[in-house]
Amino acid sequence: MISRRRLGGLAATMGVAALARPGILRAQQLAPEQVMQVGFPVADTGTLDPHIAVSNADVPIVQQVYEGLLALPHGALDATQLSPGLAERWESSPDRKVWTFHLRRGVRWHGDFGEFSSADVLFSLERVRGTTLGSPFRGTLANIAKAEADGPLTVRITLQHADVGFPALMVNHQAGYVVCKRAVEQGVNLRSRPIGTGPFRFEAHRARERLTLAAHDAYWGGRPVLRQIVYHFMPDNATRELALRSGDIDLTALPARQDAVDRARAQNQIVDLTDVGNLVTIHINMKKPPFNDVRVRRALAHGIDRQNLSDFFGKDIATPQLSVVSAALGGHTTDIPLYAYDVDRAKALLAEAGHPNGFATEVICSSIDLYLPMMQLMQEQWKKIGFTMNLRVVDHPTYHRLIRQDLSPLVAYSAARYPTVAQPYLDQFFHSAAAIGKPTAITNFSHYGNGMPGIDDLLDKARYSTDAAEQNRLWAEAQRRIATEVAALPLYSVKYALARNRRVDLTFTQKNYVFYGFSRTSRLLRA
Amino acid sequence: MRRFLIRRLLSAIVIVWAVATIVFFSMRIIPADPAEVVLGEHASAESLAAFRRQAGLDQPLLAQYWDFISRAVVGDLGQSLVNNAEIAPQIWFVLPYTVVLAFASLGVGILIGIPIGVLAAVRRNSWIDLASRCFALLGFSFPAFYLGVALLLLFSIWLGWFPVMHSIRFGTWAEHLYKLVLPALSLGLIQAAYITRLTRSTMLEELRKDYVRTALAKGLTMRRVLFNHGLRNALVPIVTAIGLYAGSSLGGAILTETVFNRPGLGKLLVGAIAQRDYNLIQAGLIVFALVIVAVNLAIDLSYGFLDPRVKHD
Looking at residues A391-402, what average pLDDT do you find?
Answer: 90
Q: Does A205 touch chain B (CB under 8 A)?
A: yes
Give the pLDDT of residue A8.
42
**Distance from B113 to chain A by nearest Cα, in Å?**
28
Which region among A34-38, A334-338, B168-172, B303-307 has the lowest average model confidence (pLDDT)?
Answer: B168-172
Give the pLDDT of residue A213.
98
Confirm if A57 and A42 have CB atoms less than 8 A apart: yes
Looking at residues B51-58, what average pLDDT do you find?
Answer: 86
**Mean pLDDT over the full length of chain B:** 85
Which region among A50-64, A264-278, A312-326, B80-94 has the lowest average model confidence (pLDDT)?
Answer: B80-94
CATH number at residue A436: 3.10.105.10
Cα A96 from Cα A501, distance rounded (Å): 46
User: What is the 8-class DSSP label of residue B152?
Assistant: I
User: What is the 8-class DSSP label of residue B229?
Assistant: I
Confirm if A493 and A346 have CB atoms less than 8 A apart: no
Q: Does A81 touch chain B (CB under 8 A)?
A: no
Q: What's the pTM value of the predicted model, to 2 decimals? A: 0.83
Give the pLDDT of residue A9.
42
Q: How confident is the model at residue A520 (pLDDT cuts 50, 70, 90)?
A: very high
Q: Are residues A106 and A232 in the same domain?
A: no
Cα A393 from Cα A416, distance rounded (Å): 23
Which region among A119-128, A504-513, B85-94 has the lowest average model confidence (pLDDT)?
Answer: B85-94
Q: Which of A162-166, A378-382, B199-203 has the highest mean pLDDT?
A: A378-382
Cα A415 from Cα A434, distance rounded (Å): 15
Q: How confident is the model at residue A15 (pLDDT cuts 50, 70, 90)?
A: very low
For A398, the closest of B31, B48, B93 (CB atoms) is B31
Q: Residue A71 carries which side chain, given as an amino acid letter?
A: A
Is pLDDT of B102 > 90? Answer: no
Phi, psi torsion values for A313, nearest 5 degrees: -80, -20
Q: Are residues A454 and A321 in the same domain?
A: yes
Confirm if A249 and B166 have CB atoms less than 8 A apart: no
User: What is the 8-class DSSP label of residue A171?
Assistant: B
Per-position DSSP letters for A213-276, written without gaps between them: EEE-TT-TT---S-SEEEEEE---HHHHHHHHHHTSSSEEE--SSHHHHHHHHHTT-EEEEEEE
pLDDT tens-digit map of A411-424: 999 988 888 899 99
Q: Does A242 touch chain B (CB under 8 A)?
A: yes
Residues with Cβ < 8 Å from B131, sequence gap 6 or more? none
Give the pLDDT of residue A417.
84
B window 54-73, beta carbon within 8 A of A: 54
pLDDT tens-digit map of A292-313: 999 999 999 999 999 999 999 9
Q: Are residues A405 and A294 in the same domain?
A: yes
How far is the CA of A196 from the CAs of A49, A418, A437, in angstroms?
Answer: 10, 22, 38
Give the pLDDT of residue B167.
63
How far is the CA of A234 from the CAs of A42, A211, A246, B148, B203, in angstroms?
Answer: 6, 12, 15, 15, 43
Beta-bridged to residue A92, according to DSSP, are: A99
Looking at residues A518-526, what average pLDDT do you find?
Answer: 96
Per-position DSSP letters for A23-62, written without gaps between them: HHHHHHTB-SS-EEEEEESSS------TTT--STTTHHHH
Tell how strand A144-149 and strand A154-159 pair up: antiparallel
Look at B38 and A136 and tell me if their CB atoms are within 8 Å: no
Share of chain A above pLDDT 70, in %: 95
Cα A62 from Cα A285, distance rounded (Å): 36
Look at B44 and A232 and tell me if their CB atoms are within 8 Å: no
What does the buried/exposed string (b/e) look like for B227-262 if buried means 16 or more CB atoms within 10 Å of the residue's CB? eebbbebbbbebbbbbbebbbebbebbbbbbbbbbb
Is pLDDT of A146 > 50? Answer: yes
Which residue range forms the structural domain that includes residue A296?
A: 279-494
Tell how strand A504-505 and strand A83-84 pair up: unpaired
Q: How confident is the model at residue B311 (pLDDT cuts 50, 70, 90)?
A: low
Which region among A102-106, A457-461, B176-180, B246-250 has the lowest average model confidence (pLDDT)?
Answer: B246-250
Beta-bridged to residue A91, according to DSSP, are: A100
Residue of B nearest to A207 (CA): B90
Q: Does A267 touch chain B (CB under 8 A)?
A: no
Q: Are residues A214 and A270 in the same domain?
A: yes
Give the pLDDT of residue B130.
92
Give the pLDDT of residue B145.
76
A166, A190, A214 - which closes a domain = A190
Alpha helices (H) in B208-230, listed in sequence order: 210-217, 222-224
Give the pLDDT of residue B169.
54
CATH number at residue A84: 3.90.76.10
CATH of domain B88-306: 1.10.3720.10
Looking at residues A493-511, what average pLDDT do you find?
Answer: 95
Give the pLDDT of residue A3.
42
Compare A474 and B52 and report the one with higher pLDDT.
A474
Residue of B nearest to A191 (CA): B83
**Distance from B58 to chain A by nearest Cα, in Å?**
15
A window 383-442, beta carbon within 8 A of B: 394-398, 400-402, 415, 428, 439-442
Give the pLDDT of residue A7.
41
User: What is the 8-class DSSP label of residue A350?
Assistant: H
Confirm if B242 and B198 have CB atoms less than 8 A apart: no
Contacts of A444 in chain B (CB under 8 A): none
Q: How confident is the model at residue A515 (pLDDT cuts 50, 70, 90)?
A: very high
**Residue A56 included in any domain:** no
Looking at residues B29-37, what average pLDDT do you find?
Answer: 81
Q: Are residues A113 and A101 in the same domain?
A: yes
Cα B297 from Cα B279, distance rounded (Å): 27
Cα A61 from Cα A65, distance rounded (Å): 7
Domain locations along chain B: 2-87, 88-306
**Residue A185 included in any domain:** yes
Q: Are residues A471 and A518 in the same domain?
A: no
Is pLDDT of A465 > 90? Answer: no
Look at A47 and B258 and tell me if their CB atoms are within 8 Å: no
Is pLDDT of B257 > 60? Answer: yes
Give the pLDDT of residue B33.
82
Q: How confident is the model at residue A16 (pLDDT cuts 50, 70, 90)?
A: very low
Residue of B nearest to A57 (CA): B38
CATH number at residue A233: 3.40.190.10
Phi, psi torsion values for A69, nearest 5 degrees: -65, -40
Q: Are residues A352 and A449 in the same domain?
A: yes
Q: Are residues A301 and A399 in the same domain?
A: yes
Give the pLDDT of residue A22.
43
Q: Does B162 touch chain A (CB under 8 A)?
A: no
Q: Are residues A410 and A433 in the same domain?
A: yes
Opening angle at CA B221, ends B216 and B227, nearest 5? 100
Contacts of A442 in chain B (CB under 8 A): 42, 44
**Residue A15 included in any domain:** no
**Residue A128 included in any domain:** yes
Give the pLDDT of residue A245.
93
Give the pLDDT of residue A481.
98
Confirm if B243 and B296 have CB atoms less than 8 A apart: yes
pLDDT tens-digit map of A181-234: 999 999 998 988 999 999 999 999 988 889 999 999 999 999 999 999 999 999
Looking at residues B241-248, what average pLDDT do you find?
Answer: 76
Look at A210 and B274 and tell me if their CB atoms are within 8 Å: no
Give the pLDDT of residue A470.
95
Own/partner pairs, B296-305, CB within 8 angstroms, 24+ separation? B296/B243, B296/B244, B296/B246, B297/B8, B297/B12, B298/B243, B299/B239, B299/B240, B299/B242, B299/B243, B299/B246, B300/B8, B300/B243, B302/B239, B303/B236, B303/B239
Cα A418 from Cα A438, distance rounded (Å): 23
Give the pLDDT of residue A501.
95
Residue of B nearest to A438 (CA): B45
Which region among A319-328, A329-338, B88-97 has the lowest average model confidence (pLDDT)?
Answer: B88-97
Give the pLDDT of residue B168.
53
Give the pLDDT of residue A43.
85
Q: How confident is the model at residue B295 (pLDDT cuts 50, 70, 90)?
A: confident
A145, A164, A190 - which closes a domain = A190
Looking at residues B257-280, what average pLDDT do you find?
Answer: 86
**Residue A378 included in any domain:** yes
Looking at residues A44-55, what average pLDDT do you find?
Answer: 89
How far is the CA of A339 from the CAs of A242, A360, A419, B173, in angstroms?
Answer: 43, 22, 29, 65
Residues with Cβ < 8 Å from A455, sequence gap 6 or more? A426, A430, A431, A448, A449, A477, A478, A481, A482
Q: Are residues A306 and A232 in the same domain?
A: no
**Residue A175 included in any domain:** yes
Is pLDDT of A371 > 60? Answer: yes
Which of B270, B97, B36, B280 is closest to A43 using CA atoms? B270
Looking at residues A66-77, what average pLDDT do you find?
Answer: 96
**Residue A358 included in any domain:** yes
**Mean pLDDT over the full length of chain A:** 91
Q: How confident is the model at residue B140 (pLDDT cuts 50, 70, 90)?
A: confident
Q: Does A266 touch chain B (CB under 8 A)?
A: no
- Structural domains of chain A, count: 3
Cα B165 from Cα A365, distance rounded (Å): 33
Q: Are residues A301 and A264 in the same domain?
A: no
Give the pLDDT of residue B267.
84
Suggest the residue from A208, A267, A411, A427 to mutate for an interface test with chain B (most B CBs closer than 10 A).
Answer: A208
Q: Are residues A250 and A399 in the same domain?
A: no
Cα A326 from Cα A313, distance rounded (Å): 18
Helix (H) or strand (E) holding A524: strand A523-524
Q: How confident is the model at residue A236 (pLDDT cuts 50, 70, 90)?
A: confident
Q: How many CB atoms lie within 10 A of CB B14?
A: 9
Give the pLDDT of residue B309.
67
Own/partner pairs, B132-138, CB within 8 angstroms, 24+ separation? B132/B196, B132/B200, B133/B197, B133/B200, B135/B192, B135/B193, B135/B196, B136/B193, B136/B194, B136/B196, B136/B197, B136/B200, B137/B193, B138/B193
**Residue A10 included in any domain:** no
Q: How confident is the model at residue B301 (pLDDT cuts 50, 70, 90)?
A: confident
Q: How confident is the model at residue A498 (pLDDT cuts 50, 70, 90)?
A: very high
Suggest the residue from B38, B87, B146, B259 to mutate for an interface test with chain A (most A CBs closer than 10 A).
Answer: B38
Looking at residues A264-268, what average pLDDT do you find?
Answer: 95
Q: How confident is the model at residue A321 (pLDDT cuts 50, 70, 90)?
A: very high
The three-state DSSP-derived secondary structure of A70-122 is EECCCCCCCCCCCEECCEEEEEECCCCCEEEEEECCCCECCCCCCECCHHHHH
Is pLDDT of A288 > 90? Answer: yes
Is pLDDT of B55 > 90? Answer: no
Residue of A nearest to B152 (CA): A242
